[in-house]
Amino acid sequence: MSEKEWYKPTEEDISPFGLTYIKEFALPSERTKQEVRSLGLIISAMSRKPRVLDIAGGFGRIGSELVRLNLVSSLVNLDLNRQFLQIARAGNIKRVVWGDMRALPFSDRSFDLALIMFTSFGYFSDEDNFRVLEEAYRVLDYDGILVLDLPNYDRICRNFSSGREKTIENGEVIAYRRRIEGVYLIEERTLKTKAGEEKTLLPIRLRIYSPEEMLDLCQKAGFKTVKFVDQNLEEFTQDSKRVWVVGTK
């Protein structure tokens, strides 16, 4: 597998987005509820229930709740992982689409709200990351909104920890070793089985973007207004855990 394709699901299940993803990156239900509450507030300020595109929506963590709460007129869940899409389809998401966020398979102005949640942005080259923003802009209707959810990289860098471990449901342990190389945050991953065996997993490699860089990229993509808030839609500060980039077409 080439470096450009490291993020793709693999039969060996060593990709960060393989079958263990749901267990490895499981989030507390309260976080999902809080994010949905914030998205509900954004939606309530729109002129009508939006047509929503959940880009890299995975197994439908956010989208399924928006549908269940009847906050949207329609919702499409797009992801590169077919197994995640099967899970989303088994829930209450009627339309799932396999596709690449850099080349969205939709016509211009097809949606009112585009979501890129849970650090799903920054896995490609700078050129391709910008292409994601251009594509999101293209498929949004006039006055459409993009919500891009990112970690606060400044906070991560200030409170940097090079190592951690996480025990997943089956009792296995995933050990992480972090390092920063230039503008990239790299997290190497090793799976430790209950029998004491170790398996090297593909690392996570994320481009670190500052708010200033994100503002520039969003404006170049065409968004007429761009604002930064935290996950509660409150003022973004250097101590915020997350940054929501909210761009309006």
Parallel, antiparallel or unpaired: strands 74-79 and 95-98: parallel
Mean pLDDT value across residues 43-57: 97
Q: Which fold has domain 3-152+210-248?
A: Rossmann fold (3.40.50)
Q: Which CATH code, of 2.20.25, 3.30.60, 1.25.40, 2.40.10, is assigned to 155-206?
A: 2.20.25
pTM equals: 0.93
CA distance 115 to 150: 12
CA distance 184 to 240: 20
pLDDT tens digits for range 141-168: 999 999 999 999 999 999 999 999 999 8
pLDDT tens digits for range 72-87: 999 999 998 888 899 9
pLDDT tens digits for range 180-237: 999 999 999 999 999 999 988 888 899 999 999 999 999 999 999 999 999 999 999 9
Residue-level pLDDT at 132: 98
pLDDT, mean over the chain: 92
Q: CATH 2.20.25 region(s) of the chain?
A: 155-206
Q: In what order do the strands lie in the sheet with 163-167?
A: 163-167, 173-181, 184-192, 198-207
Residue-level pLDDT at 184: 96
Give the lowest-confidence range in 22-31, 54-63, 88-97, 175-184: 22-31
